[in-house]
Structure 1
């Protein structure tokens, strides 16, 4: 039996890093305002000329928010931490803090295939880290707040998420004229997880009703 170590400090540190990363996304857009003023652009012209940068910002905001939400939901089920859980969490943070750089690269190169593929690869890598942490908690009940906190369906859901992101990466790399739209697949993965979670909650509620 391992000594219980609260993950609260790890979660607080992680939340702070994610907050900084998601804030950094907007800084390149603020620079565009000064540049537009120097070029005597009107506000609509500024937005029209830099719509890809704005799109990249909004997409990355949603992506980081989705990744943080998945991390938050996982660590609500974590009662203690291990050395390997901390290591995987730090690798996950590495990919999170890289995303503002990838966002700017995608925006500057106007959806270049390599830039888009690199962007999706970073998101896929962060999702793999989340899946690894989830699998660790699933395999080691002592890490969880209670037995069965992370279910087999949760692990399968993470695998499906990884498959969707891998599909997005393959589209970005190998399919001409579609690669830029493959970025839209990055906002889909949480949908099936919510469906599985609600279905499991419904089953638990039904069993509790039958037992009563």
Structure 2
């Protein structure tokens, strides 16, 4: 039996040959990229089209649609960050064992939900009693994505399907990035009931603060 790329021996559920393993990994990545592209397209389709016979009327229409445009910008950034993290991790994938396919499927499920929860988020103002629930639903989807990524990275390490040419800290770096993304969204869910619209600040500053803390802890562990 041919050895897998990365120096590991195929386990049950792995492709038998190196060529078959690479093909399975590439198909998983290509399919994931296609789903992300569709999600971004659906996100843009939901944008309201400004209308007006005069310049001032057109500007007024743009102003009325500002919450939807802002939500689009947030969701575009979220999807891009999720895809970028996925790309960094999966570019060194050498096979697609069933457990990894399942967790990647959960990640894709969260991605295709983002246009929907974006629409839900903008279906009312931040002053309404339903806002924390709409806000929380959006955040829950992002937490789900983060959990799926963490579990996928765990499977990749356990099954030995990471190319030997990958950076040595690939999985650890992916976990740090994912925690920096996941923790602020998780914390923002209860905070939305207290802060209301100010909970958006947690989304904006939270990832940076969490990443800073994680880097500091990593440096401290390295010194010790």
Q: TM-score of the superposition, structure 1-length normalised?
A: 0.77
Is 2:43 the partner of 1:25? Answer: yes
Equivalent-residue separation in structure 2 for 1:75 and 1:190 (angstroms): 23
Deviates more, 1:178-187 or 1:91-100: 178-187
Relative distance call for 1:103 and 1:157 in structure 2 (3 A) is: closer
Relative distance call for 1:144 and 1:64 in structure 2 (3 A) is: same
Equivalent-residue separation in structure 2 for 1:130 and 1:190 (angstroms): 19
Shift of 1:136: 1.6
Shift of 1:14: 0.6
Deviates more, 1:152-161 or 1:130-139: 152-161
1:94 matched residue in structure 2: 109
Relative distance call for 1:78 and 1:122 in structure 2 (3 A) is: same
Equivalent-residue separation in structure 2 for 1:60 and 1:22 (angstroms): 9
Shift of 1:185: 3.6
Coordinate RMSD, CA, aligned: 2.8
| Candidates 134, 143, 160, aligned match of 1:124 | 143
Shift of 1:86: 0.5
1:27-176 aligned at under 5 Å gives the runs 27-29=45-47, 31-33=48-50, 36-37=51-52, 42-111=57-126, 112-140=131-159, 142-146=160-164, 148=168, 150-152=170-172, 154-172=174-192, 174-175=193-194
Unaligned runs of 5+ in 1: 204-212
Unaligned runs of 5+ in 2: 1-8, 11-15
How many residues end up aligned between the 2 structures? Answer: 190
Q: Find the residue that maps to 1:55 and give its secondary structure.
A: helix
Deviates more, 1:142-151 or 1:112-121: 142-151
Shift of 1:118: 0.4
Q: TM-score of the superposition, structure 2-length normalised?
A: 0.74
Equivalent-residue separation in structure 1 for 2:186 and 2:93 (angstroms): 27
Relative distance call for 1:79 and 1:186 in structure 2 (3 A) is: farther
